Amino acid sequence: MPGWRVTLSLAGRTKAPLAQAGALRIGGFGGAEGLADYLRAAGMELVIDATHPFAARISANAVRAAEMAGLPLLVLDRPGWVRREGDRWIEVGSMGEAAAAALGEAPRRVFLAIGRQEVGAFRVAPQHRYLVRSVEPVAAENALAQAQYILSRGPFAEADEMALLREHGIEVVVAKNSGGDATYGKIAAARALGLPVVMVARPPAGGGMKLESPEAVLSLLDHARGIPALRGE
Ligand SMILES: NC(=O)c1ccc[n+]([C@@H]2O[C@H](COP(=O)([O-])OP(=O)(O)OC[C@H]3O[C@@H](n4cnc5c(N)ncnc54)[C@H](OP(=O)(O)O)[C@@H]3O)[C@@H](O)[C@H]2O)c1
């Protein structure tokens, strides 16, 4: 980002994150207050929330911390996926029991493509056989009774997702409505194969100036130096 010195903050969930430009810091801040202290101490001028749409806690902390530190907040808020003709979505409000219950009573072969943190929510439905895909291994306390685990990092192409669903005889897919292209392949593949998708809705968005793409954020930053509202003045 020409004209800006950027520090990227990661939670530290991924052991070997992909290399990125700019300075990198890893690990939590200790809540909104900790993040506000960090922003002040580091002399930051602007906060960009570019987290995953389901990372609700850090997004809420960013809103409060930016307020406390008197800084503008830009939020990269990519649009969620929208149901298309042929989609068999079962929409649920949250990952918890609602998603597990949506799989029904009868045993099914389920593809869990939801990351590793909430896999444990499906322990209430041990009758199903699960194929679980995540970047990092699922912790022992979240392990499921009948599950096969694959470690893999996106993006995932539709054709590969179709092959995977077929190979494992998947009958239903569970996904978060993350939006974007990188993980849409499984949704398109499920549609092509006529499979239902339990689609988990996003947590509600918080404050900040919302922009739909990295390009939109960059273009705003290009002009931001002269905009008082973006400089917190
Ligand atoms: N949740 C998902 O579905 C999902 C999916 C893919 C990727 N991710 C990514 O994984 C990271 C963690 O997700 P999560 O679900 O644990 O988030 P979360 O529930 O919103 O955050 C939990 C805590 O992790 C720390 N944290 C989160 N993101 C951070 C960051 N970028 N820099 C420093 N600390 C951070 C914060 O700790 P303190 O309060 O101590 O500051 C936060 O309170 C996020 O950066 C997110 O983009 C999440």
How confident is the model at residue 233, as a pLDDT?
A: 46
How confident is the model at residue 37, as a pLDDT?
A: 98
For range 5-32, the mean pLDDT: 93
Q: What is the pLDDT of residues 55-93, one digit of tens each?
A: 999 999 999 999 999 999 999 999 999 999 999 999 999
Q: In sequence order, which ranges of the chain are alpha helices (DSSP H)?
A: 31-41, 56-69, 96-101, 158-167, 185-193, 214-224
DSSP assignments along 169-183, one per residue = T--EEEEE---SSTT
Query: pLDDT band at 34, cuts 50/70/90?
Result: very high
Give the mean pLDDT of the chain.
93
Name the pTM for this structure. Answer: 0.90
- Could you tell me if the CB of 28 is within 6 A of ligand 1? yes
Specify the ligand 1 atom closest to the Cα of 60. Answer: 20
For range 94-111, the mean pLDDT: 95
For range 29-42, the mean pLDDT: 98
- Could you tell me if the CB of 60 is within 6 A of ligand 1? no
Q: Would you give the end-to-end CA distance of the chain in angstroms? A: 22
pLDDT at 181 over 90: yes
- From 97-101, 146-150, 228-232, the region with the lowest mean pLDDT: 228-232
Q: What is the distance, to the nearest Å, from the Cα of residue 224 to the centroid of all Cα atoms in its chain?
A: 27
How confident is the model at residue 4, as a pLDDT?
A: 86
Q: What is the pLDDT of residues 125-172, one digit of tens each?
A: 999 999 999 999 999 999 999 999 999 999 999 999 999 999 999 999
Cα 86 to middle of ligand 1, angstroms: 34
Q: What is the pLDDT of residues 182-228, one digit of tens each?
A: 999 999 999 999 999 999 999 998 899 999 999 999 998 887 765 55
pLDDT at 120 over 50: yes
Q: Which two tokens stand for residue 204?
A: 């509600």
Distances (CA, A) of 205 to 17, 49, 127, 148: 26, 11, 34, 33
Nearest-CA residue for ligand 1 atom 31 is 10
